[in-house]
């Protein structure tokens, strides 16, 4: 059986005066916003339901009910982080997201790339793994009449094949280290392997890994993409490790 799963998500919100318009985590200046219990980010909601559907989990209405004040005006990107954490705990990773906004107005095109980056950053994947499109319904239906905005999303997720390596090149000659790293890269690309490295060697982490978990005394202090962790560390312990390796 394949380790791939696909899910579809759909959401709709009514437009209302006095609300910010937030789509894909991006605030768009416009005369109306979307009404809802959270920030009513219809695009992010559709993405969440697509991911949850692919993983066979409950939808966002059950996970984040609108009768719970803990979610009142909450950022949907915060909810997306929680969804991604739940998927990661079950061994899933995102392959790609394809989403479509349906709105008569405003124009979405100027904000598409920013939306892609915001969603990708929250999911811990690359922007090219997230696609955001927009269309109108030619003045037909509730979106065409300007009453609301809807969104569809399709998510592809996978449970990858893992190779676990504990300090794979520690205490080896530099030349041998380079050969082993080359072999690991070739295996990853040819066999579509995912590696779980337990390593203090930041060179290995930087060259071969997409995501990083930083642990101290058995506790995760920070996690994210390699670029985020190396370029924008948030935890003092992570900053100390990076400084010591310079």
> Which tokens is 154 given?
């399709």
> Where in the chain does DSSP place strands (E)?
4-16, 21-23, 26-28, 33-34, 93-102, 130-135, 148-158, 161-166, 193-198, 211-216, 219-225
Would you state the pLDDT for residue 172?
61
Would you state the pLDDT for residue 205?
77
Would you state the pLDDT for residue 183?
79
Phi, psi values for residue 193, rounded to 5°: -85, 150
pTM assigned to the model: 0.70
Would you state the pLDDT for residue 197?
66
Q: List per-residue pLDDT tens for the chain, 246 residues long.
A: 467 899 999 999 999 999 999 999 999 999 999 999 999 999 999 999 999 999 999 999 999 999 999 999 999 999 999 999 999 888 899 999 999 999 999 999 999 999 999 999 999 999 999 999 999 999 999 999 999 999 999 999 998 776 666 666 665 666 777 787 787 778 777 666 677 767 777 777 777 777 888 888 888 888 888 888 889 888 899 888 888 877
Would you state the pLDDT for residue 59?
93
Nearest to 168 by CA among 183, 155, 189: 183
Would you state the pLDDT for residue 246?
72
Q: Per the omega criterion (within 30 degrees of 0), is the bond before 157 cis?
A: no
Contact of 219 with 228, CB cutoff 8 Å: no
């Amino acid at each position: 059986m394949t380790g791939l799963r696909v899910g579809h998500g759909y959401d709709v919100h009514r437009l209302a005066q006095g609300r910010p318009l937030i789509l894909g985590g991006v605030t768009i200046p416009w005369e109306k916003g979307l009404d809802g219990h959270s920030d009513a980010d219809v695009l992010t909601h559709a993405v969440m339901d697509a991911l949850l559907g692919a993983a066979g989990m409950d939808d966002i209405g059950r996970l984040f009910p609108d009768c719970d004040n803990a979610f009142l005006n909450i950022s949907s990107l915060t909810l997306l982080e929680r969804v991604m954490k739940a998927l990661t705990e079950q061994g899933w990773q995102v392959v790609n997201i394809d989403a479509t906004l349906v709105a008569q107005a405003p124009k979405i095109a100027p904000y598409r790339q920013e939306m892609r980056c915001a969603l990708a950053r929250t999911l811990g994947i690359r922007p090219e793994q997230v696609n955001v499109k927009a269309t109108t319904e030619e003045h037909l239906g509730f979106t065409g009449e300007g009453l609301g905005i809807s969104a569809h999303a399709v998510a592809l997720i996978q449970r990858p094949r893992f190779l676990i390596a504990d300090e794979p090149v520690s205490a080896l000659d530099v030349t041998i280290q380079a050969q082993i790293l080359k072999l690991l890269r070739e295996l990853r690309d040819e066999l579509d392997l995912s590696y779980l490295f337990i390593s203090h060697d930041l060179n290995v982490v930087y060259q071969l890994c997409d995501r990083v978990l930083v642990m101290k005394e058995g506790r995760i202090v920070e996690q994210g993409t390699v670029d985020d962790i190396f370029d924008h560390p948030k935890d003092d312990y992570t900053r100390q490790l990076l400084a010591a390796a310079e």
